Chain A
Amino acid sequence: MISLWIIVAILAIVAVEVIGLVIWRLVRRARMNDQHG
């Protein structure tokens, strides 16, 4: 059961990373679009 919780924890970290990366890219793209009018 411990190993299953470790997998759940790693899945949660990966999900946070992927969502964070997508948001960061979208925000960066929006800022660049603003700068270039």
Chain B
Amino acid sequence: MNTSVSSPNKIRVHPQALAWAWAGYGVCAWALAYTALKLYWAAGGRALLATVGLPEATLQDPWFVLIGLWGTIILGVVAVLFGLATVQSWGLFIPRWLLIADAFAACALFTLRAALGFVQDALLISGIISISDAVDRSVIISHLLLWDPFFLLGAIFFGAVAWSLWRGSREAQR
């Protein structure tokens, strides 16, 4: 959110910041969906777990439960707060450069995740890379149709937040 102080007790919100608020709320909603699903799996739920294709042994591994489930739940909560910080007034307590750097880093990470996923899954489905018999073909299709687009959506939301914050800070300097 691009803001400027116009009087001691009044914060003026830049009109363009309001136009880009969808990006912050998008990050929030995206992270909320991800966190809720991980929380559901951590609580023992099994819906949609087949789309990931994790073997039961991995799900029982305490390191996976600690880092792969609870670690990502913590990161998900941080991402929800991050999304809100870009559109709520309390977010002004966080330096802009930190929010911009984090948003660009998250965008880069999720772009890489989505791109590698799309390429790998497309190569597997097309038969260019051979699939072993142990791998369920439906898992690769769900990755291609669900998880790769999901991470791409995250990259778009974080990228939009990074772009709007960066542009806002540049215009505030003028």
Contact = CB atoms under 8 A, between A and B. Distances in A.
Contacts of B67: 4, 7-8, 11
Place the interface of chain A in its size category.
10 to 19
Nearest to A18: B78
B64 interface: yes
Given A17-B102, A21-B94, A25-B93, A7 B68 contact: yes
A23 interface: no
A5 B74 CA distance: 15
A11 B75 CA distance: 7
A7 B113 CA distance: 13
Interface in A1-37: 3-4, 7-8, 10-11, 14, 17, 21, 25
B75 A10 contact: yes
A21 B95 CA distance: 9
A6 B91 CA distance: 27
B102 A7 contact: no
A21 B82 CA distance: 13
Interface in B91-108: 93-95, 98, 102
B63 interface: yes
B3 interface: no
B75 A14 contact: yes
B75 A7 contact: yes
Nearest to A17: B98
Interface in B53-79: 63-64, 67-68, 71-72, 74-75, 78
Interface of A: 3-4, 7-8, 10-11, 14, 17, 21, 25
